[in-house]
Structure 1
Amino acid sequence: MRVRNLVSAVALSTALVTGAGVLTDAPAKAAPVSTDLGSVDLGSSDLLTPNSIFLWQGIATRYIVVLGAKMGTYGQTPAILDRRLNVAARMAKQHPFNRMIVSGGNTWWLPVSEAQFMNLGLIRRGIPMWQMVNEGRSTSTVQNASYTVGMLKAMGANGAVIVTNGFHMGRALGDFRAAARKQHARIEFRAAYA
């Protein structure tokens, strides 16, 4: 009983600090912050999906790639990027030995890349920093693909799951496959919709 009360107190204080609780009248502006600091989610039914099986078959050679999105003027995370980070975090917890590449460069006038903002968002969702690799030079989907494929090839990858939104997925997969052909990289790409 004391443990339940302690957990409830921690959840309540976290909700009050982050503004994600029901005690505020204003709607939450950001995704709720996870209080889960790095646990592995092996009890999920998502472990038998094609993407999950794909990642488990090549722990050292298959990556999760998360594409960035333009940040707000003051570094606010757009809703489309929040959805990408939520999907990526869930996958990373289910596959703690697969590395993740966060891809995105220019953030307008801010001295921080989209990839670095995404690092913070993933850390807040319980993903350890060692699981992430940054690609922070790209300013377009074509450059996301070109630079990330170069990194994947250099790391000996043979596959990657691309995390982006549905409206963006077709173009992103096309760009990644074209970049792999151009760089003579034998990498299979799969879609993970946010």
Structure 2
Amino acid sequence: MQRFGTLLLALAGLYLIVCSLTPLGLAMTAALENRFPQPVLPDKVAGIVVLGGSFDTRVSRTRHAPEVNEAADRVTAAMALARQYPEAKVLFSGGDASVFARDIPETQVARAFFLSLGLDPQRLILDGRSRDTYENARYSKQLADPKPGETWLLVTSAYHMPRAVGCFRKVGFAVVPVPVDYRTPAGADLWRPSNDTTRNLEKVHFALREYLGLLAYWIAGRTSALFPGPNP
């Protein structure tokens, strides 16, 4: 029993060393981020769907001002696209996803954010019911009510795009993926050693959570494939 305990301790130490001192987490995250390349944007777009996750709702609520987090690229990229396509609707999908205590829905903060940057409120559609990615897709389709021939863009973090696209395909909402908020470098820099152990561990955590999410959604029938990718 003592040898078994020693073995487990050694394996745990080895796991910690590998995760914190190697590019393992970066490689795992990059596999998700590289799944969908940057698209060639069309000339005309009917709407832009941007998924929640960009705002710290607790800080925003208590500080009485929109406060973004590390996924801020989702909303800043959506705003840039809104200016590129001045006729397109902007559909923000994100409710209250808190687990331990109820908070304000992200839509409340998103509305203040987009309007403060000059977006016409008539163009803004808010989905405050969604609590997860599948509900993002489901309720977005209901609110967007896409017509045949329309093009809708989907904006979310690159590492989250495979699961998001799988959910949108599952509910029958065809979208053009526009990945943003990259967390890993491209090319040879991906494999460059780093002594930033916190960042390395964080990347393993993010990647494992997303892979487990893909598996759980696929088992539950909430996504179109185990690891959704671009259409042929």
Q: Scaled by the length of structure 1, what TM-score is found?
A: 0.61
Asked whether the 8 Å contact 1:145–1:172 carries over to 2, the reply is yes
Alpha-carbon distance, 1:54 to partner: 4.6
SS in 2 for 1:188: coil
Alpha-carbon distance, 1:153 to partner: 2.5
Match for 2:80: what amino acid? Answer: R
Matches within 5 A, 1:44-123: 50-55=40-45, 62-69=46-53, 71-75=56-60, 77-106=67-96, 108=98, 112-123=104-115
Matches within 5 A, 1:113-152: 113-152=105-144
2 CA distance for matches of 1:138 and 1:71? 16
Structure 2 CA distance for partners of 1:52 and 1:158, relative to 1, 3 Å = closer
Asked whether the 8 Å contact 2:168–2:174 carries over to 1, the reply is no
Asked whether the 8 Å contact 1:68–1:81 carries over to 2, the reply is no
Larger radius of gyration: 2
Alpha-carbon distance, 1:104 to partner: 0.6
| Larger fraction in helix | 2
SS in 1 for 2:86: coil
Structure 2 CA distance for partners of 1:166 and 1:143, relative to 1, 3 Å = same
After TM superposition, which residue ranges in structure 1, 4 or more long, deviate above 6 angstroms? 154-157
Asked whether the 8 Å contact 1:100–1:132 carries over to 2, the reply is yes
Matches within 5 A, 1:6-25: none
2 CA distance for matches of 1:105 and 1:173? 19
Alpha-carbon distance, 1:52 to partner: 4.0
1 CA distance for matches of 2:43 and 2:179? 16
2 CA distance for matches of 1:127 and 1:158? 21
**What percent identity do the matched residue pairs reach?**
24
Greater shift after overlay, 155-164 or 124-133? Answer: 155-164
Asked whether the 8 Å contact 1:89–1:126 carries over to 2, the reply is no
Asked whether the 8 Å contact 1:88–1:163 carries over to 2, the reply is yes
SS in 2 for 1:51: coil
In structure 1, runs of 5+ residues without a counterpart are 1-48, 56-61, 181-186
2 CA distance for matches of 1:110 and 1:149? 25
Superimposed CA distance per residue, residues 35-81 of structure 1 (whole angstroms, 9 cap, x where no aligned partner):
xxxxxxxxxxxxxx7324251xxxxxx21001001634222634344
SS in 2 for 1:150: helix
2 CA distance for matches of 1:156 and 1:116? 31
2 CA distance for matches of 1:157 and 1:143? 24
Asked whether the 8 Å contact 2:152–2:174 carries over to 1, the reply is yes
Q: RMSD of aligned C-alpha atoms? A: 2.4
Matched residues, number: 134
SS in 2 for 1:162: strand
Alpha-carbon distance, 1:154 to partner: 6.8
Asked whether the 8 Å contact 2:88–2:123 carries over to 1, the reply is yes
Alpha-carbon distance, 1:123 to partner: 1.9
In structure 2, runs of 5+ residues without a counterpart are 1-38, 61-65, 181-232
